[in-house]
A and B are shown apart, each in its own frame.
Chain A
């Protein structure tokens, strides 16, 4: 499964899921969902689930990228295509921000930023108590890391050496108001996470070889992967374009997007 060309195909399918579902629903968080698509692809390619107790946990802390997660869950057969297409339907199970549904690997209700890491810590402590060696993957965003509660979590993880969590920072360098350098210019992520006690690894978040190596890092420390990504990755007119943090596709844009993915 973790063969790179196979992962490329899966990632492309997930991006198609995002574009098709987002087009149908009129509006969606395209940019961030597309920036973390390759990370999602890799995580679910190594994701272990023997039963409801003995399962890895994936925490989408940047909850506005729910469409990316739903797209991945559909590609890895945790939800059906029919379920995926109920995205943003009135009273549906799959709104713009995730609603907890463990059966379907939606570990928590998220959307409010900075709440996922602490939740993951609670689960990580619980797994240790139960003697389970499953992993907890937490996907956060660089914008989300503006939240103080995010750093409360980092502090705890470092101090108590919670090393059954792998934290991935989807560093697309943008956020709701545009480019992060213009909103709150935060840099030196490796230094920051290292000083908190993480093994911090910076990678190209769209390169499966680098993603795989980062996830395979041998260390006793908790791992933080700073994945440098491109917001809107895969659809040229969306890439690094603040307008596509949240937006709607018209027919022409939709066809253009699909063509790019197929090309």
Chain B
């Protein structure tokens, strides 16, 4: 796909799961080894077009996430490149053991697509939020864990996964209308963090929807005479240690931001790596370990202090030169 302004605008109208369906349909060819498996979420995965184009490459297992992953594992063991999707909490938790023991342990080529992660479930409430999927999936050996920043990056991730071999969890965040972090084409590589904004004082490291919020927060900080760099860590596992090493020496303050529990997420992963190194202090911004009362997406982000304004306030409060 050409990532011109028109296409970028079109992708952003689809929401991340719509982009998943479109991207998979675009990258698949009649004779390749792609198979899409869903647990009764064909429409929610926006795979209608894929289904029409490739009816023989589509399997709906019904509402049976464990079976979805086991079947995907069996297909992968026979050489297929399997994309299995359902809503993030079910994709990462109901079948966690199948992911760990069948995909991780046997190192099988299955991509789990966790739809509507973070607070994207809105009014659907805590059963439908994905607040711990990064924490869980990144403990599994052989797993790659990716959280694209926006619709453009979601497309690029699915494209990249066509040729990536091994188990992977893709965490899709944001809702219809969530703004794009990317306005033009760029180069994406799994495992390679991207600097989005250049600054001098502090480094903001974000993933998923929080990349866009961080870019806006950086503008607020600038007005307060703090020059912030913003990094998009789309790949949480394997972590981009090279970029981190450079970041540790360059800045005197780190902020990590994610739409995920603070426990076990991107901030945790970086703190683990940082623990035995000479590195600046780190402020971890994420979701507190509570089950909050449900509300629409923007309300939930605001309550969790995950808007640009509140992020900037928190940084101003915590930053010491």
Contact = CB atoms under 8 A, between A and B. Distances in A.
Interface in A79-135: 100, 107-109, 112, 114-115, 117-127, 129-130
A153 interface: yes
Interface in B56-107: 56, 59, 61-62, 64, 66-67, 69-80, 97-98, 101-102, 105-106
Nearest to A126: B78
B66 A148 contact: yes
A115 B96 CA distance: 12
A122 B71 contact: yes
A47 to B, nearest CB: 18
B67 A125 contact: no
Interface residues of B, number: 25
A122 B56 CA distance: 14
Nearest to B75: A122
Interface string B160-176: 00000000000000000
A100 B106 contact: yes
Most buried by B among A109, A123, A152: A152
Contact of A149 (B66, B72, B75): B66
Interface in B22-81: 56, 59, 61-62, 64, 66-67, 69-80
Chain B, interface SS category: helix
A120 B74 contact: yes
A231 B72 CA distance: 33
Contacts of B62: 155-156, 159
A153 B66 CA distance: 9
A218 B76 CA distance: 30
B148 to A, nearest CB: 27
Nearest to B110: A122
A80 B133 CA distance: 43
Contacts of A114: 66
Interface size range on A against B: 20 to 34
Of listed A119, A120, A123, residue having the most chain B CB within 10 A: A119
A122 B98 contact: no
Contacts of B77: 107-108, 119, 122-123, 126
Given A122-B76, A125-B75, A152-B66, A109 B106 contact: yes
Contacts of A125: 59, 71, 74-75
Contacts of B102: 108-109, 115, 119
A118 B66 contact: yes
A119 B79 contact: no
A36 B114 CA distance: 39
B78 A127 contact: yes
A133 to B, nearest CB: 14
B72 A122 contact: yes
A181 B171 CA distance: 44
A156 B105 CA distance: 24
A122 B105 contact: no
A93 B101 CA distance: 17
Interface string A162-196: 00000000000000000000000000000000000
Find the residue from B76, B77, B80, B98 having the highest chain A CB count within 10 A.
B77
A203 B35 CA distance: 38
A117 B73 CA distance: 11
A66 B136 CA distance: 29
Contacts of A130: 78
10 contacts: A114-B66, A118-B70, A122-B70, A125-B59, A125-B74, A125-B75, A127-B78, A149-B98, A152-B64, A155-B64
Interface of B: 56, 59, 61-62, 64, 66-67, 69-80, 97-98, 101-102, 105-106
Given A100-B106, A108-B106, A126-B78, 16 more contacts: A108-B102, A109-B105, A114-B66, A115-B97, A118-B71, A118-B98, A120-B74, A122-B73, A122-B76, A122-B77, A124-B74, A129-B56, A149-B70, A152-B67, A155-B67, A156-B67
